[in-house]
Amino acid sequence: MRSKLQIRWFAVLMVMAMIVAACGSDDSGGDSTGDTTASGSDGGASIMRFAFAPDPAWDWLADTGELAVWEEANNIRIVTSSTWDEFTYFAGGHGDIVSMGTQEIPVLEQETSIKTVTFGKYNYQRSPMMTRADTGYNELPDIPAGSTICVSSPVSNTQFWSVAMNELHGIDYRVGGGDYNLVVNDHFVNPENLLRGDCEAAVIIPEAAAPFLRTGELVLMYDGKMPFQLYNDFSGFDDGNYHVMSNLFTATEAYFDSHPDEVKAFLALWQRGVDLWNANQEEIIRAYPQHFAVEEEADIEWMINFMNEPANDWFVESVYLDADWIEAERAIWDFMTDLNPENQNYLEPGFPQPRFEVVEP
């Protein structure tokens, strides 16, 4: 049987060559070159290498000229690499800052020995569990054990659902074992798989299923809650905040400690992006429907209405951390130590907790 380390690194190695090749190209917009050389200066400007998934707020900052103004004012040039696999990009030593999920951070440190500092937040973990409207399923125990569940990855959002199912129901939920047959496919393939009956439930980002959620063919389970809404139901934390992030701002420890001014300016830029998102949400969705995987006008309208509900908006109000928020967020790692040790999302008890830092505005 493969160890947890072997399982994870098998997945990493399968995509490493593709990600490294992608790092040399720029497809993210803005003032970027795709350069992956070490951090330094460019004609006096400080270079910041940043990897993240395609993002509407970033495109808005770039296309409205806000990014260029910020770079000039702060004497910083952000060199971006757009990738859906920031984990592998960072593990390969290609960046100073990445956006990364809460549960991925200790895995990265354990497997690469890269020391990190997490200093900001951006998007909540939003992948809900869905089923067909006619099944009547609301929670996973409603579905017969051994049934097939469609997921997008053995890690990523499955890390959250492994914890949630263990804490809420005592269910061993994992790819390659456990109480259900978890089958991995792409987010955008899983809605069709679910509709065809290839699986009884699926964990899918909402935008990938927008046409079917709009028509009512697919419905969200767990009373419509996404992971960040469900966490407080079992975590014991009720601090009035949402928790469990799909996008935190995480830097190498070396970069964070040696570039305090750049880090502070970086957060200020993203706070501006969040503020612009909140003020121009409908316009941004219409400007970049590809970021929400919608094309038809009816689906665009559905996504606008869905995101207009405050409980559904997975963008934070503030990118800044505080000590109480950090305590509640890192508790997910303690829950990961309670998983079945055969689960690839299991953490050894007493693992060294990665570093979080509060950066004041």
Q: Is the pLDDT of residue 36 over 60?
A: no
CATH number of 4-126+242-356: 3.40.190.10
Q: What is the pLDDT of residues 117-164, one digit of tens each?
A: 999 999 999 999 999 999 999 999 999 999 999 999 888 889 999 999
What radius of gyration, in Å, describes the C-alpha atoms of the chain? 20
**Between 276 and 10, the higher pLDDT residue:** 276
Domain edges within the chain: 4-126+242-356, 129-225
Note if the pTM is more than 0.95. no
Q: What is the pLDDT of residues 238-250, one digit of tens each?
A: 777 888 999 999 9
For the record, the structure tokens of 197 come out as 């009956």
Q: Is the pLDDT of residue 22 over 80?
A: no
The least confident of 31-40, 68-77, 197-206, 312-321 is 31-40
CA distance 226 to 233: 12
Q: Is the pLDDT of residue 25 over 80?
A: no
pLDDT band at 85 (very low <50, low <70, confident <90, very high): low
pLDDT, residue 225, reads: 93
Sign of the four-CA dihedral 38, 85, 323, 110: negative
For the record, the structure tokens of 1 come out as 């049987």
Which of 38, 123, 118 minimizes the C-alpha distance to 79? 38
Q: What is the pLDDT of residues 207-246, one digit of tens each?
A: 899 999 999 999 999 999 999 999 988 888 777 788 899 9
Alpha-carbon distances of 326 from 121, 142, 278, 350, rounded to whole Å: 10, 34, 24, 18
Q: Is the pLDDT of residue 7 over 80?
A: no
Q: What is the pLDDT of residues 278-326, one digit of tens each?
A: 999 999 999 999 888 888 999 999 999 999 988 889 999 999 999 999 9
Average pLDDT over residues 98-109: 87
CATH topology of domain 129-225: D-Maltodextrin-Binding Protein; domain 2 (3.40.190)
Average pLDDT over residues 44-63: 89
Which of 351, 345, 359 minimizes the C-alpha distance to 151? 345
Burial bucket for residue 101 (CB in 10 Å: 0-12, 13-18, 19+): buried
Count the Cβ atoms, other than its own, within 10 Å of residue 291: 18
* Phi, psi of 89, deg, nearest 5: -60, -50
